Amino acid sequence: MTRPTFIKFFIISIILGILSASATSLLILNYQTPTENELIKDFYRIETAVHVSPHTIRKEMSKGEQNFILVDLRSREEYEKEHIIGAINIPAYKDPDTSAYGDKERIVMAFSKLPKDKDIIVYCYSTACMTGRKIGAMLADNGIYVKHLGIGWNEWRYYWNSWNHEHEWEKTNVENYIQSGKEAGEYNQVNSDFHEGCDINNEFGC
């Protein structure tokens, strides 16, 4: 092979190599980048897998259902002052102003002891509170999977009408759905009109 021919062959080889690499990269990029519709589908799949409607929970309570456990992540002090009736306390806060995210072993151990045949649903201060998400991620890393109540304590206690149906405002009373003290409390059925509630595991739970 003459020198000019070799140089030409060498240059062509480089060009083909670059084109091949570019084509491969483009194929990988197209394969890895989901479409907008796929992203939307994934969003709703995640939302419905993780979040639980407070309205559904309230309905389940009125029927005396025992297929879930609510876990209050606020400090013990706040829990004992008032909490959603039936909820247990696994505090992610040492006190109202100090988080206890570093107590990983204690938190994971406490959740690991909860019944495996019930949905575990966590809640914290408000809808915007990140504590439930942070604890949920911590637990998932340890093979424990919990759901997240769609609202927090503040909305449950102080904004009752904002998430209950309008026709229910005069028929339900938040005082019947809260508890004070160290005990979780048991819900005493008072609203027999509301037995048509949605199953917590129903795909279209309300």
**Token pair 């394969």: residue:** 31
pLDDT at 81 over 80: yes
Burial (CB < 10 A; 0-12, 13-18, 19+), residue 60, is buried
Q: How far apart are CA 59 and CA 77, in angstroms?
A: 28
- Section 69-95 average pLDDT: 98
What share of the chain has pLDDT > 70, as a percent? 76
The predicted-structure confidence for 4-34, as pLDDT tens digits, reads as follows 554 554 455 555 455 455 555 555 555 678 7
pLDDT at 192 over 90: no
pTM of full prediction above 0.75: yes
Residue at 160: amino acid letter: W
Q: What is the CA radius of gyration of the chain?
A: 26
pLDDT at 46 over 50: yes
The predicted-structure confidence for 122-176, as pLDDT tens digits, reads as follows 999 999 999 999 999 999 999 999 999 999 999 999 999 999 999 999 999 999 9
Query: Which residues, other chains included, contact 103 with Cβ-Cβ below 8 Å and sequence gap of 6+?
Result: 92
- Look up the CATH superfamily of 50-194: Rhodanese-like domain (3.40.250.10)
Q: Output the pLDDT for position 149.
A: 98
Q: Output the pLDDT for position 168.
A: 94
Name the average pLDDT for the chain.
Answer: 85
Q: Output the pLDDT for position 38.
A: 85
**Residue predicted with more confidence, 159 or 200:** 159
3-state SS of 12-58?
HHHHHHHHHHHHHHHHHHHHHCCCHHHHHHHHHHHHHHHEECHHHHH
